[in-house]
Structure 1
């Protein structure tokens, strides 16, 4: 009975979210609560929700302060010298331009926001692509590959959701995957260079490069509001602060939430010492932080009900009866290989809070570590897959900024991001993270 109730709960969650009948925030609270009441748990359901919320509170705190922290540093112009250096280095050479696009997107995505990455990268690089008659679909593909792979960061949405769903520290999911992630980043750079060389050969064959001054440098213009917020004298101090915060978090010297809390306070004090300016910077990024924090707390309520009621355990035990024992050890590698296509089927909340916990519990019944399923999932599900998924707003922002039709973007980019997920899955097996 519990297994059937859990299955129906997850199916209703998937349908209501993916058909836009309910927002993820509402669905994550209402659907499991209704299931718990139907299951006869009554007021005990509230205790289940509190238990789930308590377990994810540190993750939500980390995400809130991570958004504000990187937002403040971006406002202060920490990225400007890096962006300008990239533009100066690439000049008017196609292979350098594609490499510069990848590196720029990887750096900008440090804040974990796909929208910000595209809003900075595309306007900065698009004039170069148009000037040389390079295909815009190449620009969209490289930005997608870079942002998608970088989205595995511990403060990125997928990794946060995976850790929240599994009730483990986010560093437990991410830290063992650092080597795999580096392989993914190198793959992005290699593919960007390959696409650039291919564009260079095409343009040379068409004679489009004969009248181009390859030493010309594209200059990025800032608005008056952006100039007012910039703190160029604080560049190196902000860089050191960023390194210190990330190092403290990854090394485990400080809990992730505390690292970003302290980092946010220091960033505000050194860049915007006036109280009014500090309030404005926090307000500027509060909407994005509150939105994601609300989702995470709602997800805590969902996972609390599903776990404490026994629905997840019952589903896993039932599903385990249909999984051959010899196949169980291959589950992380299979999930990793399918993780990117999952982005086309499931939005992140439905997958990480509905589908993934069941797979993880099934794997656990065979003696596997559920964290491996979370690690396999972040190799593609709304990481490499988010910029091609019709289920994310960032995809439409990307194609809107580049002017590339969705179908053309997906046809060109999906094989590339899928290849990166497969490469990282193979790396996880080679590094001994996934059993074979």
Structure 2
């Protein structure tokens, strides 16, 4: 009994210390993920056993780290090569001075551009292409901000976006097992986003009417068509085919995700940048983005390895199980989905939630027959709200690009984005992505 109490105290102490350090910005997430569990683990176990726990944790996360490395590189290379340029031009042609078409087009374009899972890139591309039209037509820029935030809220769930990899890493399950079943819920979110964009567009159409601005549209298209030195417009068809085949193989599970992205990245580099110097430049230009994400995944292996290997996780889960009302246990999957929204918005960073809280919830859920993969999926459904968190740097970039007030953006977007969370949770329950109630 004494040992369990000690493990319980160490486990909660470790998680709380980790959260406080990264939320107060006293340590970077990478440093806290590595050092905090070692400090607490040495109290609970010998140095030799701690070393084995850390290696076991890192080994389990190696495939996730490889997948993220080449997933980020692949879509970054495709953006460099100009894969999304035709979509930008198509949206500009489609708008023709109609606020309704502009906002729906913004939803479609931003979701496609957000395929790389990176909010900052999406905001910069969409603002550069569409902001002049918004200003010319007089459409409220707040509507654009809300639509863009919803796009990233959906597409941030792609495996290479970050949260899915964190959830899979914390649960020690394959990323594909988490992500692929989530696709129907993401499509429900996309339908909701387009519906909201249409509502905004109809409001602006009633306020402004449909305007004609052929000169401005032509000028914007001309700017969009100027190729940079990294663009490969003549290779658009092969790049599109390669991306289509990659996504098909990903959904069908033809090969493990790390292998698919490694091969696709190699092919993309050879296709678009056959010269060795160009390949090295493309890889180097995105190395910092890759390192920032992948280093966290491997450091998380230390955290989860020690938390689980020392028995802290079991002790914490049992304590949660004892205090949880009996009626709530079977509904822990949808409860986690709802909890993830406010938790990652106002209380915790993604790192703190996925590596600190989710393992405890999942271990408790196992008593009700709910799998770690199902809990990982549930935990991701609140991600759209997380994009509005003060902890998310890319949102500051968005409001700066559009020159709108950060607080006003929070107030204007929060309810719409929370509606998306509810829509995605509803879709997840409808399609059986997560169980509404335990079968036990």
Q: Distance in 1 between matches of 2:244 and 2:360?
A: 36
> Per-residue CA shift, 1:91-135, capped at 9, x if unaligned?
211010001111111011111111111111122111111111111
Q: Secondary structure at the match of 1:78?
A: coil
2:386 corresponds to which residue?
A: 386
User: TM-score if structure 1 supplies the norm length?
Assistant: 0.95
Correspondent of 1:10 among 8, 12, 15: 15
1:211 CA drift (Å)? 7.2
| Structure 2 residue 333 is the aligned partner of structure 1 residue 332 | yes
| Structure 2 residue 355 is the aligned partner of structure 1 residue 350 | no
1:144-183 superposed matches below 5 A: 144-183=149-188
2:254 corresponds to which residue?
A: 253
1:427 CA drift (Å)? 1.6
**Contact in 1 for aligned 2:45/2:310 (Cα 8 Å):** no
Q: Distance in 2 between matches of 1:248 and 1:273?
A: 24
1:40 CA drift (Å)? 3.7
- Gapped regions of structure 1 (runs ≥ 5): none
Output the aligned Cα RMSD. 1.7
Q: Distance in 2 between matches of 1:367 and 1:69?
A: 37
| Structure 2 residue 22 is the aligned partner of structure 1 residue 21 | no
Q: Distance in 2 between matches of 1:164 and 1:99?
A: 35
1:366 corresponds to which residue?
A: 368
> Per-residue CA shift, 1:253-292, capped at 9, x if unaligned?
1110000000011001111111111111111111111111
**Contact in 2 for aligned 1:145/1:188 (Cα 8 Å):** yes
Q: Secondary structure at the match of 1:228?
A: coil
- Gapped regions of structure 2 (runs ≥ 5): 1-5
1:271 corresponds to which residue?
A: 272
> Per-residue CA shift, 1:214-237, capped at 9, x if unaligned?
99443262598x521111111111
Q: Name the CA shift for 1:74/1:220 in 2 (closer, same or farther; >3 Å).
A: farther
| Structure 2 residue 69 is the aligned partner of structure 1 residue 50 | no
**Contact in 1 for aligned 2:89/2:224 (Cα 8 Å):** no
The 10-residue stretch of structure 1 (210-219 or 419-428) with the greater mean CA deviation from structure 2: 210-219
**Contact in 1 for aligned 2:67/2:258 (Cα 8 Å):** yes
Correspondent of 2:137 among 118, 124, 132: 132
**Contact in 2 for aligned 1:245/1:263 (Cα 8 Å):** yes
Q: Name the CA shift for 1:330/1:233 in 2 (closer, same or farther; >3 Å).
A: same
1:122 corresponds to which residue?
A: 127
**Contact in 1 for aligned 2:85/2:224 (Cα 8 Å):** no
1:377 corresponds to which residue?
A: 379
**Contact in 1 for aligned 2:8/2:315 (Cα 8 Å):** yes
The 10-residue stretch of structure 1 (425-434 or 240-249) with the greater mean CA deviation from structure 2: 425-434
The 10-residue stretch of structure 1 (240-249 or 402-411) with the greater mean CA deviation from structure 2: 240-249
Q: Secondary structure at the match of 2:159?
A: coil
> Per-residue CA shift, 1:379-403, capped at 9, x if unaligned?
11xx312331110111111111111
Q: Secondary structure at the match of 1:199?
A: helix
| Structure 2 residue 431 is the aligned partner of structure 1 residue 431 | yes
1:228 corresponds to which residue?
A: 229
1:396 corresponds to which residue?
A: 396
> Per-residue CA shift, 1:184-235, capped at 9, x if unaligned?
111111111111111222224xxxx6675699443262598x5211111111
**Contact in 1 for aligned 2:110/2:126 (Cα 8 Å):** yes
2:291 corresponds to which residue?
A: 290
